Amino acid sequence: MQYKSQAVAKPYFIAAIGLFVGQILFGLIMGLQYVVGDFLFPAIPFNVARMVHTNLLIVWLLFGFMGAAYYMIPEESESELFSPKLALAMFWIFLVAGALTIVGYLTVPYAALAKMTFNDLWPTMGREFLEQPLITKLGIVVVALAFLFNISLTILKGRKTSISLVLLLGLWGLAVFFLFSFYNPSNLVLDKYFWWWTVHLWVEGVWELILGSLLAFVLIKVTGVDREIIEKWLYMIIAMTLITGIIGTGHHYYWIGTPEYWQWFGSVFSALEPIPFFMMTVFAFNMVNRRRREHPNKAATLWALGTGVMSFLGAGVWGFLHTLAPVNFYTHGTQITAAHGHMAFYGAYVMVVLTIISYAMPMLRGRAANSGKAQVMEMWAFWIMTVSIVFITLFLTAAGILQVWLQRVSTTPLGFMAAQDQVALFYWLREITGVLFLVGLVTYVASFFVGGETKEAA
Amino acid sequence: MSQAFTKSMARNIFFGGATFFFLLLVALSFDTMQVLPKRDHRENITDAVARGKNVWEKNDCIGCHTLLGEGAYYAPELGNVYKRRGGEFVKAWIKSRPAEGTPGNRRQMPQFNLTDQELDDMVAFLKWTGEINTNNWPPNIEG
């Protein structure tokens, strides 16, 4: 670690991993409820478990992004963080607000939570992924602004690199597009239309800028390849991301009341969305092959390569699978969407956050890399989690294809629940694979506690 | 990538491309906003429909169901439930969910303790939703 203030990244990373564990536990609860419907009912109904599962994911990724920025920006700017104290204060505010929100979901009925937090004054709750009470949403805005203020001023007073510019753009975009979560008209079509300006323009837009810059940062460090080359790749990748992804928003506008022309715009542009992910894979492998140093942190390199491959498969290939309007007509709102969602989030955002943690955490603990033993364990965790998510995705895809056939294509269509009963086998297989994922995650956490010989950080 | 292609060229493609396509999104959205009233029949959004949407949100229905294909995939699509089941069935169903759950391994729907007014509003909301022009989605009545 070259700058003292980079240390504030550490609590962010620890919180991220802790919440990740919580996310997976609730995922397992939901997975079991798919086949054992009365599991934990009425204590934790499915919708509550799902809110906790998805909200924890979002929050821990945000912790990861913020930790990454606090670690990267001082090094990129060659300057101490503007205010480490503000960063620490925001950490605690965000953690407490997040924890209280989750406790709220779990302890009172959602309608009571809405009432307690004065949702009727300005209704924003009860929409997928944006279930947080108004006060939490406002808290997110405050934390994001304080964070952006801190990061922006650090960059302004120091060296300005393309990596920090792209990261900054991504993070500002994240904050700006979150503002659409406060717009909730009575007209469902308008509500849905602009809901996607938060959700799509986050995960298929500005978050990819963050992803790209984190990946580029780690690749510079572990490969020693010239910054000019890496930053050129970064710009080309994110250029393709936004050129395809912005109008790609149209693939959400096929069946929600919006005009037919979105079927053309959405299909054509989102069919191109795999390109930037493919470039990312080529980029990662190319840079590692052309490496000019042997960095002792092999695990971080593995995560970086894994991000390229898995984001291409999950976001690129599995996205393409159901993005063309004539296909999506049948697959919209089925387990196919769930399959894509799981591999895309893992491959792109989970893996890139674990990449930066893998690279930065040893530095934050005063060594260039973890011991060989710890790295082997971390790499086991990589493989167990990655293989698990591949099989979770395959099983959900199988369930989805059968569901589409039984419920929507067959000449004697089954009702929703009857079709679900027919595909239960695949939900069981998914749940078993989910347990394997947890084993991988426990292995990952355990790898932080493995000692052994390490070299001091340079 | 070759040496002739420089970082600043890549940066220009990024800024130019992002700006152009964002403006295109804004322009298309502007057009969509002009066309929407004919497709969403907003003249039929009564107070009951608006209150019904609020009931839908306050009880996090989207956490299990899909609505026009968006939401969770645990329980049936409700965008066309008014056509599939009718308003009276919807009300009776919501009202009759046992608080402690139904026996067996069946997927459970909570008892939300909605008032008669809330039930009527919910049905008004679902009826209006079913009349949105969705380009003929879903493929059949099963949703």
Which residues on chain A are in Cβ contact (under 8 Å) with B133?
A: 257
**Do A336 and A404 meet the contact criterion of CB atoms below 8 Å apart?**
yes
Best of B5, B26, B32, B61 to disrupt the A interface by mutation (most A CBs within 10 Å)? B32
Give the minimum alpha-carbon distance from B127 to chain A in angstroms, rounded to a whole number. 12
**What is the C-alpha radius of gyration for chain B, rounded to an integer number of angstroms?**
22
Does the pLDDT value for residue A288 go beyond 70? yes
Question: Phi and psi for A343 in degrees, rounded to 5?
Answer: -75, -35
Give the minimum alpha-carbon distance from A187 to chain B in angstroms, rounded to a whole number. 7
Does the pLDDT value for residue A137 go beyond 70? yes
**Do A165 and B109 meet the contact criterion of CB atoms below 8 Å apart?**
no
Using the Cα atoms of residue A205, residue A207, residue A209 and residue A211 in order, give the sign of their dihedral: negative
User: What is the predicted ipTM?
Assistant: 0.97
Q: Nearest residue of A to residue B66 by CA position?
A: A333
The answer for A126, left when phi > 0, alpha when psi is -120 to 50, beta otherwise, is left
Identity of the residue in B14, B21, B63 whose CB atom sits nearest the CB atom of A47: B63
Domain ranges of chain A: 1-160, 225-458
Residues 6+ apart with CB under 8 A from A4: A80, A84
Cβ of residue A229 closer than 8 Å to a chain B Cβ: yes
Under the banding of pLDDT at 50, 70 and 90, the label for residue A226 is: very high
Distance CA A26, CA A128 (A): 16
Distance CA A211, CA A229 (A): 18
Inter-chain CB proximity B42 and A187 less than 8 Å: yes
Does the pLDDT value for residue A456 go beyond 60? yes
Domain ranges of chain B: 1-39, 41-143
Which pLDDT score is estimated for A455? 73
Inter-chain CB proximity B74 and A33 less than 8 Å: yes
Give CA A199 to chain center in angstroms.
12
Does the pLDDT value for residue A457 go beyond 80? no
Cβ of residue B74 closer than 8 Å to a chain A Cβ: yes
Give the minimum alpha-carbon distance from B92 to chain A in angstroms, rounded to a whole number. 18
| Residue closest to B61 by CA, chosen among B116, B22, B118 | B118
**Do A248 and A291 meet the contact criterion of CB atoms below 8 Å apart?**
no
Q: Nearest residue of B to residue A162 by CA position?
A: B11
Q: What is the mean pLDDT of residues A84-93?
A: 98
Cβ of residue A226 closer than 8 Å to a chain B Cβ: no
Inter-chain CB proximity A332 and B137 less than 8 Å: yes
Q: What is the mean pLDDT of residues A442-455?
A: 92
Inter-chain CB proximity B134 and A51 less than 8 Å: no
Under the banding of pLDDT at 50, 70 and 90, the label for residue B28 is: very high
Identity of the residue in B21, B31, B74 whose CB atom sits nearest the CB atom of A242: B21
Q: What is the mean pLDDT of residues A67-76?
A: 98
Give the minimum alpha-carbon distance from A230 to chain B in angstroms, rounded to a whole number. 9
Residues 6+ apart with CB under 8 A from A22: A52, A56, A102
Type of residue numbered A344: A
Tell me: the pLDDT tens digits for A389-447?
999 999 999 999 999 999 999 999 999 999 999 999 999 999 999 999 999 999 999 99
Inter-chain CB proximity A126 and B61 less than 8 Å: yes
Q: How far is CA A41 from CA A48, B55, B104, in A?
A: 11, 22, 12
Which residues on chain A are in Cβ contact (under 8 Å) with B29?
A: 193
Tell me: the pLDDT tens digits for A291-320?
999 999 999 999 999 999 999 999 999 999
Q: What is the mean pLDDT of residues A369-392?
A: 98
Best of A242, A286, A290, A403 to disrupt the B interface by mutation (most B CBs within 10 Å)? A242
Q: Nearest residue of A to residue B79 by CA position?
A: A256
A362, A363, A368, A369 alpha-carbon torsion, rounded to 10°: 10
Does the pLDDT value for residue B13 go beyond 90? yes
Identity of the residue in B18, B59, B72 whose CB atom sits nearest the CB atom of A242: B18
Which residues on chain A are in Cβ contact (under 8 Å) with B107?
A: 33-34, 37, 46, 417, 420
State the DSSP code for B66: E
- HSE (side-chain half, CA atoms, 13 Å) at A2: 11
Type of residue numbered A111: A
Tell me: the pLDDT tens digits for A256-282?
999 999 999 999 999 999 999 999 999
Which CATH topology does B41-143 take? Cytochrome Bc1 Complex; Chain D, domain 2 (1.10.760)
Identity of the residue in B5, B57, B106 whose CB atom sits nearest the CB atom of A123: B57
| Residue closest to B76 by CA, chosen among B58, B56, B61, B95 | B61
Which pLDDT score is estimated for A454? 81
**Do A104 and A113 meet the contact criterion of CB atoms below 8 Å apart?**
yes
CATH dotted code for A225-458: 1.20.210.10
Cβ of residue B5 closer than 8 Å to a chain A Cβ: yes
**Do A234 and A166 meet the contact criterion of CB atoms below 8 Å apart?**
yes
Tokens 């679900």 identify what position?
Answer: A420
Give CA B5 to chain center in angstroms.
46
Which pLDDT score is estimated for A458? 56
Which pLDDT score is estimated for B104? 85
Type of residue numbered A413: P
Cβ of residue A272 closer than 8 Å to a chain B Cβ: no
Under the banding of pLDDT at 50, 70 and 90, the label for residue A1 is: confident
Cβ of residue A453 closer than 8 Å to a chain B Cβ: no
Best of B42, B57, B100, B132 to disrupt the A interface by mutation (most A CBs within 10 Å)? B57
Tell me: the pLDDT tens digits for A194-212?
999 999 999 999 999 999 9
Distance CA A328, CA A401 (A): 12
- The 3 state secondary structure assigned to chain A is CCCHHHHHHHHHHHHHHHHHHHHHHHHHHHHHHHHCCCCCCCCCCHHHHHHHHHHHHHHHHHHHHHHHHHHHHHHHHCCCCCCHHHHHHHHHHHHHHHHHHHHHHHHCCHHHHHHHCCHHHCCCCCCCCCCCCHHHHHHHHHHHHHHHHHHHHHHHHCCCCHHHHHHHHHHHHHHHHHHHHHCCCCCHHHHHHHHHHHHHHHHHHHHHHHHHHHHHHHHHHHHCCCHHHHHHHHHHHHHHHHHHHHHHHHHHCCCCCCCCHHHHHHHHHHHCCHHHHHHHHHHHHHHHHCCCCCCCCHHHHHHHHHHHHHHHHHHHHHHHHCCCHHHHHHHCCCHHHHHHHHHHHHHHHHHHHHHHHHHHHHHHCCECCCCHHHHHHHHHHHHHHHHHHHHHHHHHHHHHHHHHHHHHHCCCCCCHHHHHHHCHHHHHHHHHHHHHHHHHHHHHHHHCCCCCCCCECC
Does the pLDDT value for residue A362 go beyond 90? yes
Distance CA A354, CA A287 (A): 19
**Helices marked H in chain B — which ranges?**
7-40, 47-58, 81-85, 87-95, 116-130
Under the banding of pLDDT at 50, 70 and 90, the label for residue B103 is: confident
Distance CA A314, CA A347 (A): 6
Provide the 10 A C-beta neighbour count for residue B131: 13
- Is the overall model pTM greater than 0.80, yes or no? yes
Tell me: the pLDDT tens digits for B67-96?
999 999 999 999 999 999 999 999 999 999
Identity of the residue in B6, B53, B107 whose CB atom sits nearest the CB atom of A188: B53
Q: Number of Cβ pairs closer than 8 Å across A and B?
A: 236
A192, A405, B84, A35 alpha-carbon torsion, rounded to 10°: -80
Core vs surface per residue A114-138: b (16+ CB within 10 A) or e? beebebeeebbbbbbbbbbbbbbbe
Does the pLDDT value for residue B66 go beyond 90? yes
**Do A456 and A366 meet the contact criterion of CB atoms below 8 Å apart?**
yes
Question: Phi and psi for A367 in degrees, rounded to 5?
Answer: -145, 155
